[in-house]
Structure 1
């Protein structure tokens, strides 16, 4: 029969201390493990939130940047169009004034009788070459009848020399041109069915229409079809 010796109070106390120390150590280790796990999860969540917020800020910045760029482009385009319209308006005013001044000077051409006779001859010949007919009529202002008759003789003579064909041109005194015109003639052919308006006013109008691109190049140094760049 074995004997169980009762533990003394000191022994019991020591055992309790050991057990308490062990439990405390386990508790501390577990608490430290939980603390580390919490710190790790916090860092992960924090990083995730930072990335989300950064992405949101970047997206908002990109949106505002695009809006600002679009607004800037619209403003630039609007200003460019306004400038272009002002330039075009100023150019058109200049061209209008140019042809208005030219119109005022048309009457001066008829003042130099010799030069005017040569101009009338060429206008009659131009009509004759275009019509290519043997008989033509010419209409003119009453004030120009005498000088037109001389121009007709000159035109007939030159036509004969240039083409070896006879040309009969008569002055139609039954239907004079208006005295409000600056000069020139109307050449009539095919029995009165076709006429070529070679009055000064009509020639200036044609010049304004047909020669405008060349005039633009001469005045502004650019082709009319050239695009306007911002």
Structure 2
């Protein structure tokens, strides 16, 4: 009887052990799957964060590079136009005959643009003699082409600044309309009009689309 009871107890113990081992294996597998899924989720999250951080870094570097390129190009353009300003300053003093021809052309341009009977011209005081000669020639050419005389006088009440590079300002309609034909204004307009062509010449055909859109 004792042996039978011992045997039954051992078998019962083995059943309990087997069931416990089975439940342990199931629970272990469940925990492993949960932890694996958690690790995968964490890895995916960190991967996305790393990818986004890398994209932000690339974008930031690209923007910084773009800004440096734009700044360098603008500096070069500024230096180019500054040299042009320095050169036009010496035009009036460098070649009197050339400057006289330029003055005549600037005055004549104003006469054609305004197309009035009486015109006033502003100039630097030191240019008055040259401007008077330019006025005579321009008025004569205007009459030859248009068939009408025009009275052109120097407006001495408000001369151009002496530190101006040169040129003239032409006034019509009793001073209500002004055509600024000073060297500084012509260069400013040239900077605006010629800037795309200058950029293309210096930096290539695609620079405007690539960097300035």
Per the TM superposition, whether the score is higher than 0.5 is yes
Of 201-210 and 43-52, more deviation after overlay is shown by 201-210
> What per-residue deviation string (whole Å, max 9, x for no partner) do you get for residues 75-99 of structure 1?
2233223222322222222222222
CA-CA distance at 1:162 after TM superposition = 4.1
In the other structure, the counterpart of 1:54 is 36
- Map residues 1-230 of structure 1 onto 2, 5 A cutoff: 20=4, 24=7, 34-110=16-92, 111-221=94-204, 222-224=206-208, 226-227=210-211
Q: C-alpha offsets along residues 83-127 of structure 1, whole Å, 9 cap, x if unaligned?
A: 223222222222222222111111332222332222222212322
Deviation at 1:28, TM superposition (A): 6.8
| 26-35 or 204-213: bigger deviation | 26-35
Which deviations, in whole Å up to 9, do the C-alpha atoms of 1:173-227 show, x marking residues without a partner? 4443222112100101111222222111222233334433333233222454644
Cα deviation for residue 137 of structure 1 reads: 1.3
Aligned-residue RMSD, C-alpha: 3.0
Deviation at 1:33, TM superposition (A): 5.1
The runs of 5 or more residues in structure 1 that have no matched partner are 1-15
8 Å Cα contact 1:84-1:228 kept in structure 2:
no
Aligned length: 211
Consecutive unaligned residues in structure 2, runs of 5 or more:
none
Deviates more, 1:28-37 or 1:187-196: 28-37
TM-score, reference length from structure 1: 0.75
Contact map agreement 1:140 1:148 (CA 8 A) in 2: yes
User: 1:58, CA displacement in angstroms?
Assistant: 0.8
Encode CA deviations 1:37-89: one digit per residue, 9 max, x unaligned: 44443332222111101111011111221222222223223322322232222
Q: Secondary structure at the match of 1:177?
A: coil
- SS of the equivalent of 1:188 reads strand
Which structure would you say has the larger Rg? 1
The answer to whether the 8 A contact 2:70-2:211 is kept is no
